[in-house]
Structures are given as structure tokens and as C-alpha cells.
Structure 1
């Protein structure tokens, strides 16, 4: 249940006044350890707050002139909304104000994140319009000093300066560098070609022939946003992704799919077992239930397109749950197709064939004044030096212990890289886990065991999510992943007194609103205690 805007503001301000004194939290640490946080999006803001409250001296570097990450005004296209409802896409103790859409718009999310930074006193920690260009261990003649040298550059100045930190938390996210395919004949094309990250004003496309390349959420969202004003709109893709309706038979999607029960219907999650495989009990259950699960997903594969109003030409190749790693929410583009405002070409592009034409792999040519490349992002860590990069990235795939920690460098963490259907929840709990690790309060296995776990997860993810090359993706397995983090921190995984509410209720952020207090109590008492919501 949300509060009014004024009530939210008051609640947030009161909470800020009651937040722990960092000096008290760091009793025995003199001087307080310094942490560099890279990025001020969802993950960066919550990580900065958790670390500050746990006694660290925090500096956040953000290359954009405002916090918000993927939601900043320079990266948001018209019509962009959160993929999940506001109760899921929020932090545990800071609800959206009344009047916020069920699925918040980009402007609403941007305002929410700005309010979060203001009300919890994070602005003084932020160094905006400042890009991190290098992170390397500080080494002297006798070896590693246990700190990092971070080189930063104020955007547009060409100047650089170096800072030293005890820990680094990378929160720059998986959507950091636009993937722009090289299309032959670009010099022949007289029109505009841009990546979807540079699409901000739909009005500029009035009376233009627009071609959008891509089959995912951004491609369909952009195509739908210009359909009413463009002269023509053509979506070009080889394989369209699953796009789910926001409501199924009048029920909001999170109440059906973002639950523990829904996760139980998925293929088995990665189990960090040194011997591999599943626990015998679960394996036996799955063998018995396999025919029913196949029937269930076959039925969903037929039902979802009907409920979404999906035209036959947009039906994905994969049978559910296959393809969920690329799925999105929103069916506006399907409506544009039905109303004749857009068309689809199931093909790839071989290149530009003239000043206003593109040639498809089918041999057909289509006319265009504007080409929007909704072709995704590359996960890159260009600021890490070669030594650190080699420790966390193999063949372009990020390999991290618990999707957070560099396996052989416990002073280097990554929050927000465990992309999921509830990224605010996984980021917030990831921040608590990392802070506990940085404080030396987490019972970590050996570096060899951490490497083994990271490699094992990567093998599982390669099979479970073949279309997600970044490596740390967990997708719909939110409860499974969060349970691992809670268990590591010695905190209860189950958050509801009622088993029905635990398994059937949506995994909303408020379930975890007491984690900071639980960690402090455990630190004081020497044990995790217990916590259950009503």
C-alpha cells in the first residue's frame, strides 16, 4: 500500500534522521575505510546508502549529470516504462507516492530515484559528470598494498586525477555500452542512423519513414511510440522476443509470475553444490512432475499470445519457458500492427543499398529516412586494468561469486550485475551482502571454491539463458538467488508468517525492509535472530 507524496516525503525524512551514525557503525575502524562506487543508478544509489550506513567513507562517481542510470533523461525513449510493477521496482523502505502508475514511466522512476538520493542524504556522496577511466591495484616494491588507485576524469575536460580507495563497488550495470552493428554501405545512406539509446523525441520522426532494427522490448516500444506520427514504421528482426501483457485476465502480472510458486515451475536453478547436480529429493520430484510441467508450459505458450493480442508474425520461435531471458512487458506494438500503423519484416539486414534504402537478407529492399538500431548493449568494464579484468571476465562473460564478488579479490564487488525481473530487490540485498563482506563479517569459502562456484553458475547460465551473453544473468530466479544471499548473511529466507502468503504472494521489495536492522542486531548479538513479516 502506497502513501501520499507528502506522507512518503515525511516518512523518508524521518527514516533518514534515524539512520545509523556511520562513525558508530565503524567502531574500531580508524580511519574509516574508503569505498569507490562506480555508477549512480538503482544499484549505485542503494549500495552507497548501505555502505555509508555501515561505516564506510563512500564516494560515488557518475558520468551522467544526474543520478538514475538507465533512467536518466538522456537514455530514456518516449513511452518507456518499468518492466515490473512499482511494488516490485522499488526499494524496501521507500514506496512510490500515490498517483504513480502501476508500471512507472521513465520520468516517474527518474523522480523516484532522485527523491531517494535527496531524502537519504546521498547527494553529498555523488561526483556527477565524472567518468572513471581506470581502476588498478596499488602496488609497491613489496607487493600489493591492499588498496586501489582510481583514475577519474570530469566529462568534457580532458583532465584526470587519481584517488586511492580501500574497496571498489562497480555498479555501472550490464547496459553500459551500446551495441552498434556495422552495416555495409553506410556512406551511401542519406538518412539518420542512431542507436536506441539516442532516441528521445518521437515528434522528430513525424512524416518520416522509420525502420527499427531489433526484436526486443526497446525495439517494439520505440516502433509503437512513433507509429501514429511517422509516415511508415517497419520493424526488422529475425526473432521477435516474448512480450507479456501487463495484466492477464485482469490480474497484474507480478501476482502470477513473480512468486515463489511460479519459480517452482521453472527448470531447476543453479545449485552451488561441489559435486554438481540437484539434491536427490528435488530431482525425484522433478522427474515425477516433468510431464505436468511440460503440459503447463505448452499451455502458456498457446495462451499468452492470445491474451497479448500477438499477431502470428510476431510469435517467438521458442516455447516457454524458453526465451524468458529476452522477454519484456507491454503489448502496444501489437496494437499498432493490428491497426495498420506498422509492419514487420522477419529478416536480418545485409546493409544500405542506396540513399534511402536498406537491403534485407531476404533480398527485399525497404525505404527509410531514419534507422533506429535497438540492438542492445555490450557488457564491458573498460576501466578495470588487464589484471582485474582477467579475474572477473572470461571470453566476454562476467564470472563472479554469488554474482557479486571477484572470486580472487574480495575487495572488489559488483552490484546490479545479477540482472533479474526484480533488479531493485536483488541490488539492495546484493549491497547488504557486499557490505557485510567488506566488513569481514561474511563467512566466505576459499578463493578456489569461489572460483568453482562462479564457473559452475556460468555453465548453468549458458544453458539456461543462451541469449544472454553477459554471464551473471539470473532472470526469473529471484527468490532462489535472494535466498542464497540471505542464507550467507545468516538471515531468515522466509519473510512471511503465512506459508500461503510466502509462496503465493508476489515478491515485493517490502518483504526485505528489515534487513538493515536485522544485520545490526545480528552484529550486536552475534547471531541472526529471526524476523517474520505479518
Structure 2
């Protein structure tokens, strides 16, 4: 809702009550915007810096100062509702950066200005213009999760005919496949949202059921289902270089196969959808249920059961606290410990008054979301760089990273006070953020329960009635949960054949996927990936930011094709090679190549193949528009050189 549309909908009593629960760091910049009074940018009104990623609702200010700010906002909003002009309706440049720095209480690099201005609506976002497309141009999208539906919405916006192929019976991707107890996001709900589709979230960190509801609502709101073929699996895709078309073989629920023809193929299958199943001796002999966390059986009753959870990553960390009070005994098998961060908002419900602020108070949602974006997306990126002169490289990367280590260590010690045995098992030896930081959702409290045991010996096998560790101990179990992650190193599971019969999977091998910008690969014209190689956010934040950047890039490419009569474009090998060399070099300077830990971000040769080394703002900049000089272009089969280009092959 625009600021002008909201003017007549402000109830003074409701406003006063809502401001009592408002976030102070969010209120201060919007107060400056509304009034233009710069006194609010100076002490004693400047919020302090938040510790960690908490919302810091009081801004670190005394109650009397908070109340002065709330009352000033109340008057400013009432004046605005009565018709007073906004002093700074669309701040940009240094003015915007100063307001953002006021909000987050720290310096923000200048290169964040353009992205922030666009995302807050202060600078118009380049809008794709609908194109009169002939009936023969068609796009096939594989997957109807977040990425695939975002692609469908953008394609619809510019009038491009398309078909979405989805293997499940409904939209939602990972959020309909992962149904284990405690399943949810570790990114704040208001950030884990598409910019064009906000929601009144019930909790600050959404649980699976609400995320499924959000994505179901996305499909309904934009009428996306009419383009989706459900319970249809992509089997193979092959490029016809003479016709400059993709043929996509799909299989329906009955097993019948069909060939779809497309000018462009968008693969939006994601990285985290194929369970990684360890090959343990005796799995077939185990008499009870044994299953991957992403295949949790419906109706499973764990009451009084002896349960073994193998793994201590993100899924296990959500499962264990959720079932600890139900089971009779719970063994948690840990390969390596995880760094865990506190967050007081993890289970906190969103007050209805906050929803009102988001909907009615000008700029509140925009500033709150920008504050979250800074805290979760790029704030810690600089601290993940290796300092060659750092004296303690075995435990941390640099002075700031070492301070993070001390903070998280102190938190762990406090949570596990009185349990030195657990401290010894649970305290990591590698640098913080070496694996994705996990949020404490009751993990440490669960580990201290008498019926829970953390076991650091690896799992060697299963017997009919239990689990055998590598040191030979057999422990009884009625149920075994494999919280062992996903096959993330090859993000395309159907065979893709490109120019001259090149098979994408052969080029990538089992675990070495590469793509230019994570979006396209040499030898495979008119093929685009969403959530492709090296686009996982290892340093934190919301992938949805990247999904919108990726589809922006893809739509720009399609618009060039249609306007300029380009029948195919394919990334030049030297462009992709240079990009991936720079990517690998960047990773060598970062935490995920630290040898003190194992991480699923790395492949069997130690190359980081899933995580992105760039900041979100860097990737946003890289994907603002397509540089056609990065591609070999063809028109009706003939390689062409654009007039403004100085080097495409002819």
C-alpha cells in the first residue's frame, strides 16, 4: 500500500497501542523521513548496535527516550494522515545511507545504496515491459518451488507462454517435502518473503506449515497453477542445434511420457531436494522405521520410543528439541559439532499490532525488512575472510571472527553450565560460520534432558534392534532418523544434453557443478538455472533475495532475445571460466576452505561447489542486466555480432 493510499486509514487509538510494541530502530529513520527533523539522528535518539541478530526492539535506549520517540512518531503519522507532506518521500544517495546507518547503528558501505533504494521503493525498479510474443515462443520451467513460481510470475508479467513441470502434487518444493517435527526456517519470516508478496506472519521465524500456506497462497494469488503440470517429472532435456529448440521428456504419475518443445528451459529444481542416504550395513534388517528426515512418515507416533537421530545439522537441530519430551530415549549421533547462535525471536509470535504497523504506518515494513536484510545477509561477510597475519588460524580467521568465537563459546558454556561432558562434545574447534550458523531453538536445553544422549562416535551399522557405533558399541533403537542432508553437489537430476551431444552431468561429474553466475553454462544454449551451482548463501540470509535477482537476469535475457530477434544465446567458455576462477580464488580466502572442518559446501576434491563467496549486494549488482557480449548469439541459426559489440565471434 502506498503512503497516499494509507492516509485515511489511521485510527489514533490503534496507532498509539501499536507503537507501544514497535521496533525502535525501525521507528527512528521513518520519523526522520516523515518530519525531516534531524535531531532524531543525534544522541540521545540514535539506537545502539544490536548484539548478534536479535531484533533489538528497544534500540538500547532508556525507556524515557523510547517513549519520546514513540510519541513523536505518533504525532508525525497523524499529521501525515491529515495531509501533511512527507519531508523525505524517497531518500537516495548519502541521505539514504545515513538513515540506514541510523537504523542499524553501524557504517554501511556506499555500494549498498542502489540495492537498498530499489528494495525500499525509493528508486523505481526497472520493470520488465510486456512483449507481443508470437504463439510459437515457449518456455519450460522445471520445478514449482519458490524459484519456479517466481519464474512463472515474471514470465506471466511480460506475456511469455510457459509450462511449469512439477513432480509433486502441489506447489512448495522443499516446504511440502520436509514435514519433520520442528521444521521451519532459520531466516526471519519477513525476510524469507518475496518482495512482491508480503505476509502477516504469525511468528518471527516461520514453521513449515505456514511456509507451505504462504507458497500455496502465492500460487493462488497470481493464478500460477494454470501453467503448472503436477505429478509430472522431468526425465531428460536435449538441445536441437539446427532447430534451436529444447525437447524436454516428461513423465506423468501413470508413467506415460511426453515430449515438450521449448525455446528456453529454466531449471528450478533446487539443491536441497534429493536426500543423502548413508549406506549403512544392516539397514534392511532393522525391524523398525528407518527414514530420511525429508521423508518423515505421516502419523508416526514416537511416544515412549527409543529414537536414534543420525546427524546434528540444521534438520537434526530442529527435530531433536521437537521430539525430546515425547520419546522414551533419544540418541543423537554427531559427526561434528555446530556453532549455535542465540535468538530471542525464534519462537516468538508476531503481535497483531505489529501487523497493523506493517500495513498502516508509512515506511515501517520497508525499514524493518532493510534492518533484517543488513543483519542477516551481508553484515558478517567481511569477518569470514582469512587474515594471513592472524596468529590463531586454527581456531578463527581474524580478530572479528575470533570475537564471534568468544561470544558463541560463552553462550554455549552458559547454556550447558554444569555439564562439562556436553561442553567437550558440543564445542566446535573450527572457526565460527565454517558451517551455516544455526539458531538455538532449544537445542542445548534438549541435550541436557536425562533421556537424551549426545554420541560422538560415528555410526557403523544397524542391527535388527539398534545402532552400532564405529567403536563397536550397540545401542538399542526402535526408530532411526537419518538427518544426513541432501545430494546438493549436482543441482540437475535429469539428463541434459547440449551442443554436439555434450551431457551436462558428464561435464560436471558427480560433484563439480559450475555455471556462469550460477545461472548458465557454456555449451547449453537458452538454458538457465535458478538456485544453481554456487548460489547457496553460506554466510547467512535469505535465498529469496537471490531468486529474484536470478529471474531478473533471465527475464532481461529473454527480452533481449525477443526484441532483437535472437534465436539462441550461449555463454562463452572464457567468460564462464574467468568467473569460476574468480569464484574459486575468492573461496580460498574465505572460511569454507578452512581445513578444520568438513562441510557439504565442498566437493570430494575440496572445491566449494554450493556456497557463494560474494555478498548479496555483489550478486544483485552482477545480475542487474545481461551483458550480451558474454554470449555467442544466433539469429535463425546464424552467429551474429551486435553492432555495439567489439568482439563476438562471427
TM over 0.5: yes
Q: Work out which structure has the larger RCO, using CA pairs closer than 8 Å and 6 or more positions apart in sequence.
A: 1
Provide the C-alpha distance between the structure 1 equivalents of 2:311 and 2:134, rounded to a whole number of angstroms: 53
CA deviation after TM superposition for structure 1 residue 63, in Å = 0.5
SS in 1 for 2:244: strand
Look up the SS of the partner of 1:435 in the other structure.
helix
Check conservation: 2:285, 2:464, Cα contact below 8 A. yes
Change (3 A) 1:183 1:287: closer
Q: 1:382 is matched with which residue?
A: 493
Give, in angstroms, the shift of residue 394 of structure 1: 4.0
2:577 corresponds to which of 451, 455, 458: 451
User: 1:214-257 CA deviation, whole Å, 9 max, x = no partner?
Assistant: 12011121222211111100110220222322349999994774
Match of 1:477 in 2: 615
In structure 2, what is the Cα distance between the partners aligned to 1:358 and 1:44?
40
Question: How much is the aligned-residue C-alpha RMSD, in angstroms?
Answer: 3.5
Q: Secondary structure at the match of 1:377?
A: coil
Query: CA 1:111 to 1:439, structure 2 compared with 1: closer, same or farther past 3 Å?
Result: same
Aligned partners of 1:288 and 1:469: how far apart in 2? 25
1:202 Cα deviation after fit = 7.5
C-alpha contact 1:81 1:105 (8 A) present in aligned 2: yes
Residue 367 and residue 476 in structure 1: after superposition, are their counterparts in 2 closer, same or farther (change >3 A)?
farther
Q: Do structure 1's residue 121 and structure 2's residue 230 form an aligned pair? A: no
Q: Are residues 190 and 299 of structure 1, via their aligned partners in 2, closer, same or farther at CA, if it must alter by over 3 Å?
A: same
Residues 309 and 482, structure 2, Cα contact 8 Å, conserved in 1 = yes
- TM-score where L is the length of structure 1: 0.75
Select the residue among 362, 366, 369 that pairs with 2:471.
Answer: 362
- CA, structure 1 residues 337+42, in 2 after alignment: closer, same or farther (shift >3 Å)? same
> What's the CA shift for 1:336?
0.9
How many residues are aligned here?
A: 447
Q: Which residue of 420, 423, 438 corresponds with 2:543?
A: 423
Residue of 392, 410, 435 corresponding to 1:323: 435
Higher strand share: 1
Mapped to 2, the partners of 1:126 and 1:306 lie a distance apart of 50
Q: Distance in 1 between matches of 2:427 and 2:389?
A: 30
Query: Is the contact between residue 410 and residue 438 of structure 1 (CA under 8 Å) also seen in structure 2?
Result: no
1:107 to partner: Cα distance: 0.9
2:529 aligned residue: 414
**Of 183, 191, 216, which aligns to 1:88?**
191
**Cα displacement string for residues 339-383 of structure 1 (whole angstroms, at most 9, x for unaligned residues):** 33411001211112x321221113322111111111111134231
What per-residue deviation string (whole Å, max 9, x for no partner) do you get for residues 404-455 of structure 1? 1123324111112312231111011111111212333799973322233135
> How far apart, in 1, do the equivalents of 2:255 and 2:441 lie?
44
Q: How do 1:486-501 residues align onto structure 2 when only pairs under 5 Å count? A: 486=624
Which position in structure 2 is the counterpart of 1:498? none
| Higher radius of gyration, 1 or 2 | 2
User: Equivalents in 1 of 2:320, 2:160: separation in Å?
Assistant: 45
Unaligned runs of 5+ in 1: 8-19, 269-285, 491-525, 527-534
1:55, 1:484 → 2: CA distance?
25
1:25 corresponds to: 130
More deviation, 256-265/424-433: 256-265
Note the C-alpha offset of 1:32. 5.3
Distance 2:345 2:221 in 1: 36
Q: Deviations over 1:297-324 (max 9, x none)?
A: 1121121243353651222231224233
Q: Report if the CA contact (8 A) 1:391-1:408 is conserved.
A: no
CA distance in 1, matches of 2:293, 2:243: 43
- Structure 1 pair 373–261 and aligned structure 2 pair: CA distance change class (3 A): closer
User: Is residue 422–residue 478 contact of structure 1 (8 Å, CA) maintained in 2?
Assistant: no
Instruction: Give the Å deviation of 1:187.
Output: 4.0
| 1:55 correspondence with 2:172 | no
Query: How far off is 1:400 after superposition?
Result: 0.6
